[in-house]
Amino acid sequence: MGDKILIVDDAAFMRMMIKDILEKNGYEVVGEAENGQEAVDKYSELEPDLVTLDITMPEKDGIAALKDIIAQDANAKVVMCSAMGQQAMVIDAIQAGAKDFIVKPFQADRVLEAIGKALS
């Protein structure tokens, strides 16, 4: 059985794209969330091996959600997702504990590389 992954993005289309890439490559998507608060709640409920976390979301952004997840599990593995031009936020995320980041639009090889690296 593959590693369990929680996908967090406020855009259903983006969640679908990343889910498709992951499932085709043997990962198990155990849940999806569309905002940062939902991500934090589902993290404790589902205990995934890794979270893909969008930076820009309603209710609670990805950076705040990342900090909450790391606070509840210091060993959490989180890969941030961002649109182009969010480098400053990506740096904040890495400093807050994210393992890597992927840029939209997603490229399958880059997604798999980042997730493989974070899980190893």
Q: What is the pLDDT of residue 24?
A: 97
How many domains is the chain built from? 1
Residue 84: pLDDT over 90? no
Q: Is the pLDDT of residue 86 over 80?
A: no
pLDDT at residue 1 is higher than 70: no
| Main-chain phi, psi angles of 91, to 5 degrees | -60, -45
SS (H, E, C) 1-35: CCCEEEEECCCHHHHHHHHHHHHHCCCEEEEEECC
CATH of the domain at 108: 3.40.50.2300
> Which range of residues forms the domain containing residue 34?
4-119
pLDDT confidence band for 88 (50 / 70 / 90): confident
Mind listing the pLDDT tens digit for each residue in 38-71?
999 999 999 999 999 999 998 999 999 999 999 9
